[in-house]
Each structure stands twice: as structure tokens, then as C-alpha cells.
């Protein structure tokens, strides 16, 4: 079984990974573990397991954001010094919990607000509907004064795949815009839909065929992986838009690229990708009719303050022998 071991400095070593904005030490007070833990932040991303294992070999504690980095058994087996892994959020599909337990690693989570992804969903949807990016680019570069015709929201149908914590909030915003909101998931009931003030679609196919905007808000699992493929995209209207701020694997990426290039749908808004960070030569970077953001759904000041603040709490509690927010 692993246990925290002090390094040559007498301090335990904590690696904070993928701190792109260098926010970990500015948005949280690490005072509660001062004198016990040496904190080292990394602003780059290592997807290669060999390089990642080499980087982490001298660390007792690792803090990782959401599901940016997988922690499979092969990685745990190469980190004999690791004793605590803190991952933001309370659900993580890329951590092998059995391997963590086998290697004596405690895994803890943090709270995560559902508000930021709701807001980003609407940023993408509105950006697509009103051509914000091409119009802004034209204005700033001496291009044409008005070149697009915006798509109306009021009176149009918003189809939601998933009506959980995030989907229900997206629904209420749609209702405020005067949209006709329908929702579908395998377990959705008429009663649950009515609680949110929307209608339940009879099937996934009915929702896709009848909606002007489709937004994905489902958890990734065996039943949702590849849920939207070429046959489903073919059901959508050529004037319809698809937004995915949930999980990339729910929508078949190649099928979506084909639909965008062929103009079979009006456009798509994406915040999640099969490979992240997205390679510089990836075809999605140059796809037509696409508004994309680099997985910003949960990236807000308040959410990061919660992530890192509770990561400090997790570390302090672990060092005191009473771990909190233990996963899974």
C-alpha cells in the first residue's frame, strides 16, 4: 500500500496538472497545507503516458482537472510514490478506480457547478444562430457590412437530448426565449418533462427530425456512445443546428464532419472533442459551418475557485487521516 513520503525537503510533493491559465495558486488559498506540501504547477499538457509517468514519478499527490488526463492501471502501476489523486468534479470516467485501490491510491473529488456549461451552451447556440463570429471578423477586417441572415429563436423548436441537471437549465433558458422545447432520453418520463415545463419527444428520431436546434446533455456510457451518427444526422433539417457541450463520443465525429462539409445541417457548435487538445492539423479546425471552443464548458473563475479550493481541502483532510469526497 502506498503512503505519502516526504521528499528531500521534508515536504510532500503535489503536482497540479494542465493548469493552462496558471490559476491553481491564485484562485485558492493553499495555506492549510503550507509547510507540509510543496506545490508544483504545470501549464502544459502531456498526453504521452511515458512522459507523464516520468514527470509524476517524484510526486505524492496529483491534482487533475475533470477528465483531461486518463489514469489507467498502466499509469498507476508506474507511480509507486503516488498516494492521493484529486480530480475536479464528483464523476470521472477516465480513472481506473480498481487500479487506484490496488496501488493504495486514494481518489477524491470536488464540487462542480452546472451553471458554466449551461451558459456556454447558449453562447454557442446564439453565436451560431446570429453568425457572431463571421460578422465580427468581417467588421474587424474591412469585410462586408452584414453578410448573414440570423436564425430566429422565438417560436422555433429546441430539442434536448437529456434533461438532467444541465439539460433542464438549458430548457428553462429556451423557454424564456419563447422557444418550443422538447426533450428525449431513454429514461425520460412525461412527468419529469412536465416538471421542467417541456414536452417529451416520442423518440430520438422524432426529436431530431422536428427540431431547429438540437443540444446534447447526456452522460457518456455504453448506451450513449455514438448515439448521434450518420443516420441520425440525416434526419435533421438542413436549416437545423447541433450543439454538443457534453461528451465528444456521443456524436460520431467523422459523420458530423461529413454533414458539415456537405451542408446537410446548417451548422454545429462543439466544446468537446475525441482528442484534446485538438491537434493543430485536425480537420475540425477548418470545418465549415462550425463554431468551436477548446472545452471551456466548466472553465470559469468561480468554478476553478471551487475546484482548487476543495482540492486543498481534500489534501489537508487526507494528510490528517480523514479523507473527504472519496471517489467513486
Residues 302, 308, 309, 310, CA torsion sign: positive
Q: Are strands 199-200 and 180-184 parallel, antiparallel or unpaired?
A: parallel
Q: Is 310 a catalytic residue?
A: no
Spatial contact of 247 and 220, defined as CB atoms under 8 Å apart: yes
CB contact at 8 A, 11 and 90: no
Contact 274, 47 (CB under 8 A): no
Q: Is it true that the peptide bond before 17 is cis, omega within 30 degrees of 0? A: no
Rounded-to-integer distance, Cα 226 and Cα 247, Å:
10
Question: In degrees, to the nearest 5, what angle opens at C-alpha 292 toward C-alphas 289 and 295?
Answer: 160
Q: Which of 157, 169, 200, 295 is catalytic?
A: 295
- Residue 154 burial by Cβ neighbours in a 10 Å radius (0-12, 13-18, 19+): exposed
User: Active-site residue among 13, 157, 200, 247?
Assistant: 247
Is the link from the previous residue into 328 a cis peptide, with omega within 30 of 0? yes
Active site residue 130: no
**Of residues 36, 81, 276, 325, which has the active-site annotation?**
276
Q: Where are the alpha helices (DSSP H) in the chain?
A: 49-56, 73-76, 97-102, 115-129, 132-140, 165-176, 190-196, 204-210, 230-235, 253-262, 301-319
What per-residue string of b and e applies to 113-139 under the rule 16 or more CB within 10 Å gives b? Answer: ebebbbebbbbbbbbbbbbbeebeebe
Q: Name 18's Cβ contacts closer than 8 Å, sequence gap at least 6.
A: 42, 43, 44, 45, 64, 65, 68, 69
Can 237 be counted among the known catalytic residues?
no
Q: Which residues are catalytic?
A: 247, 276, 295
Amino acid at each position: 500500500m502506498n503512503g505519502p513520503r516526504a521528499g528531500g525537503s521534508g515536504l510532500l510533493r503535489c503536482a497540479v496538472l494542465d493548469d493552462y491559465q496558471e490559476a491553481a495558486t491564485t484562485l485558492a488559498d493553499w495555506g492549510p497545507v503550507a509547510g507540509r506540501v510543496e506545490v508544483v504547477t504545470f501549464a502544459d499538457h502531456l498526453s504521452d503516458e511515458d512522459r507523464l509517468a516520468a514527470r509524476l514519478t517524484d510526486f505524492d499527490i496529483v491534482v487533475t482537472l475533470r477528465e483531461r488526463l486518463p489514469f489507467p492501471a498502466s499509469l498507476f502501476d508506474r507511480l509507486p510514490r503516488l498516494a492521493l489523486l484529486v480530480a475536479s468534479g464528483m464523476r470521472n470516467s477516465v480513472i481506473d478506480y480498481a487500479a487506484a485501490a490496488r496501488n493504495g491510491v486514494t481518489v477524491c473529488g470536488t464540487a462542480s457547478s452546472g451553471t458554466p456549461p449551461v451558459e456556454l451552451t447558449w453562447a454557442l447556440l446564439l453565436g451560431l444562430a446570429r453568425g457572431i463570429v463571421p460578422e465580427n471578423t468581417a467588421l474587424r477586417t474591412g469585410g462586408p457590412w452584414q453578410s448573414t441572415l440570423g436564425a430566429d429563436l422565438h417560436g422555433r423548436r429546441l430539442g434536448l437530448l437529456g434533461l438532467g441537471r444541465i439539460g433542464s437549465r438549458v430548457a428553462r433558458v429556451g423557454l424564456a426565449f419563447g422557444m418550443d422545447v422538447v426533450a428525449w432520453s431513454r429514461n425520460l418520463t412525461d412527468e419529469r418533462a412536465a416538471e421542467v415545463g417541456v414536452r417529451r419527444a416520442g423518440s430520438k428520431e422524432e426529436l431530431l427530425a422536428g427540431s431547429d436546434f438540437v443540444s446534447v446533455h447526456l452522460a457518456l456510457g455504453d448506451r450513449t456512445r455514438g448515439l448521434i451518427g450518420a443516420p441520425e444526422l440525416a434526419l435533421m433539417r438542413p436549416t437545423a443546428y447541433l450543439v454538443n457541450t457534453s461528451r465528444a463520443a456521443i456524436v460520431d465525429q467523422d459523420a458530423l464532419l461529413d454533414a458539415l462539409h456537405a451542408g446537410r445541417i446548417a451548422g454545429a457548435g462543439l466544446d468537446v472533442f475525441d482528442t484534446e487538445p485538438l491537434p493543430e492539423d485536425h480537420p475540425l479546425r477548418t470545418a465549415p459551418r462550425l463554431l468551436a471552443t477548446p472545452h471551456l464548458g466548466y472553465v470559469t473563475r468561480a468554478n476553478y475557485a471551487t475546484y482548487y479550493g476543495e482540492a486543498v481541502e481534500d489534501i489537508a483532510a487526507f494528510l490528517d487521516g480523514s479523507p473527504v469526497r472519496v471517489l467513486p
